[in-house]
Amino acid sequence: MTDANAADDNWLLDEDEDELPAGGPKAPDQRLWRVLIVDDDADVHAVTRLALRNVSFKGRELELFSAYSGREAYDILRDTPDIALVLLDVVMETDDAGLILARRIREELHNAIVRVVLRTGQPGQAPEQRVIIEYDINDYKAKTELTTQKLFTTVISALRAYESLNMLERSRIGLGKILAGATNLYQIHSLREFASGVLNQVSAILDVGADGVLCLMQGDTGVTTVVAATGGYAELNDAELMPAGHPLWPTISKAFAEKKSQFDHPANVLFIHTQENREVAISVTPPWPLAQIQRDLLEVFCQRIAAAFDNLYMFGQLRKAQEATVVALADLAEFRDSGTGGHVRRVQMLSSALAQRLHERGAYPDEVTPQLLEMIGLASILHDVGKVATPDHILLKPGLHTPEERSEMQQHAAVGKAILERAANMVDGVSYLTYGAQIAGGHHEHWDGNGYPNQLRERAIPIAARIVAVVDVFDSLLHERPYKEPWPHTEAVGYIRDRAGKQFDPEVVAALMELIERDPNIGNTPG
């Protein structure tokens, strides 16, 4: 072997810095490449660090970690994210410590993307062909062949492979988040909640915190309205319009003007144009410039949520139409009985409050569902819709009813239930009409089974009807009727309390008493 070849082969002594590219200043917005050196020889660590001290790849320098045994290296890999490359010795605390670590990296840590380069000073103890076949390593080098230049080439090749695999993995995770996130967004009804959900999903795709994310919507008039804001921009939730002097405004304005996304770090604005001619801008300020794969993922996500925005609007319109129908039905029932005044509106508010209090108490968790909490208020105003079938001379009679008239009057419960059930059956799933039918048919049933029309008892009576039963009687006692004067508040409260376990569900009565304790004048709303 010539002296020149010997010098070239001695990687520990070769310090030809001219062959290494200048590292240059590290970009402040990019993280370092993390490399783990695993060897029981301190000199190997020192010389490896010396050889790699000026190495950079794509403007990112190296961050070197050291471990002197397989066990120590395993702990570092377990606890340190984003290690791109392991330069791994074979013989350390045992003759096969490096091989055992290589297997544990893949099988126990389930880390398939970190690049593992095996370095050995005794190739005979770990033959290359057997090691390459039996262990998931990415390169095998004898220490004697690793000159500074060859070490540089090995490291750069490993980092390039790691970057490609990491991008594929991030793409897979990002697409999964897009699919999951878009599905969840379709379940959100409120536009502000929907917009907040969009911001959270964007943060997840970018793998950054929610800080520095803003969502805006452009109306037909050209006015930019703040829909939701998170993190450092959360104070904008209190602003109806986007302030023209805000630092994000120039980029947002440019996105609306050019009708396309803007990636101008630190301000990045995603532009969305929906089929219903709505324009939405989502401004993101991550700590580093967005990689192309992140931009592509965000554009895919924007395509998904553009349809979601339109669907949300259509859902909102259908919801408003449904609510308007319910209100019209209630107004129709109340129109003939002007003596009830604002009875149905008071029942609506107190029914919602009482259902929420039951939820807070943890009562009937299988019955007091989020769906019930959302719908019971509006559904409760339909409780007397069956009175449309009651003759005027009975409905409007100023005095007490005869037994025959009482029997005729009581038919309104069954009539109301039948009307609303027929309507509810025309709509898939549970709606206001579903709960309205339960309430209309069951709010005159008694806990002890002595009510009407079907003498149901206890939990056989739907929870919505048990709630409205208490609210309906309580409100009727407190307000004037053609056949009675209003009762004093204390007497009405005493009547409800005394009827717990007989006419009324004791849990519902207890919840009402707690509401009254909070607000002693509850139910005394005039009208």
Q: Which of 211, 178, 466 is nearest to 296 (CA)?
A: 178
Which of 149, 146, 147 lies closest to 123 in space, CA to CA?
146
Q: φ and ψ at 47, to 5 degrees?
A: -75, -35
Q: Comparing C-alpha atoms, which of 121, 169, 159, 102 is closest to residue 10?
A: 121
Indicate the SS3 state at residue 119.
strand
Q: Cβ(156)–Cβ(183) under 8 Å?
A: no
Contact present, 52 and 62 (Cβ < 8 Å)? yes
Burial class (CB in 10 A: 0-12, 13-18, 19+), 363: middle
Q: How many C-beta atoms surround the C-beta of residue 489 within 10 A?
A: 17
* Whether 143 is catalytic: no
Going by the DSSP 8-state scheme, the letter that residue 486 receives in this structure is P
SS3 262: strand
Question: Which two three-digit tokens encode residue 522?
Answer: 């509850």
Contact 12, 47 (CB under 8 A): yes
Active-site residue among 387, 397, 417, 484?
387
Nearest Cα to Cα of residue 74 among 86, 56, 62, 58:
86
Task: Identify whether the C-beta of residue 140 lies closer than 8 Å to the C-beta of residue 128.
Answer: yes
User: Given the structure tokens 């500074």, which residue do they identify?
Assistant: 148
Token representation of residue 454: 């079907």
CB atoms closer than 10 angstroms to residue 186: 15
Residues noted as catalytic: 387
